[in-house]
């Protein structure tokens, strides 16, 4: 992450168990949005990685309700507790059925269609004898 930041690459990490993240990874997270955390190990990890948030605010982590969060880091001047609004747009995600997609990809009709789509264009035959390069006729 630190190498990517030099080139303007950003990344968002989402976890329910911040205690399992490496400290080097957490140190590269410049802005954190922290929601309810009950596990003491996770609370301690967050308390060590969040700069500027007071102990009183971090003590509120287990008591946060659904939609409440503490935002801290370079993206905001001072740590603040806020409410995340409900989503107003329609969910656009889709879950694909991987086994059926795989079977479709490897079906005879799909393979024939791909072969036809990827086949090289041949000009009408001439007096010249066709040449072969591998399996492709030129």
H, E, C per residue of 42-109: HHHHHHHHCCCCCHHHHCCHHHCCCCEEEEEECCCCCCEEEECCCCCCCCCCCCCCHHHHHHHHCCHH
What proportion of the chain, given as a percentage, has pLDDT over 70? 88
CB 42 within 8 A of CB 19: yes
Gap between the Cα atoms of 107 and 110, Å rounded: 5
Gap between the Cα atoms of 120 and 133, Å rounded: 12
Domain coordinates of the chain in residue numbers?
Answer: 2-83, 107-137
User: So what's the pLDDT on residue 130?
Assistant: 66
What is the value of pTM for the model shown? 0.56
pLDDT in tens, 28-71: 788 888 889 888 888 888 888 776 667 777 788 888 899 899 88
């Amino acid at each position: 992450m630190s190498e990517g930041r030099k080139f303007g690459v950003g990344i968002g990490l989402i976890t329910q168990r911040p205690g399992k993240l490496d400290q080097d990874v957490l140190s590269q997270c410049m802005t954190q949005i922290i929601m309810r955390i009950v596990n003491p190990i996770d609370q301690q990890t967050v308390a060590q990685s969040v700069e500027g948030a007071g102990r009183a605010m971090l003590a509120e982590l287990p008591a946060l309700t659904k939609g409440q969060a503490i935002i801290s880091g370079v993206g905001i001047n001072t740590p603040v507790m806020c409410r995340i609004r409900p989503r107003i747009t329609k969910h656009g995600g889709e879950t694909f059925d991987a086994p059926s997609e795989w079977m479709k990809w490897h079906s005879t009709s799909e393979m024939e269609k791909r072969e036809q789509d990827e086949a090289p264009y041949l000009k009408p035959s001439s007096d010249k004898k066709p040449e072969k390069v591998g399996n492709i006729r030129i």
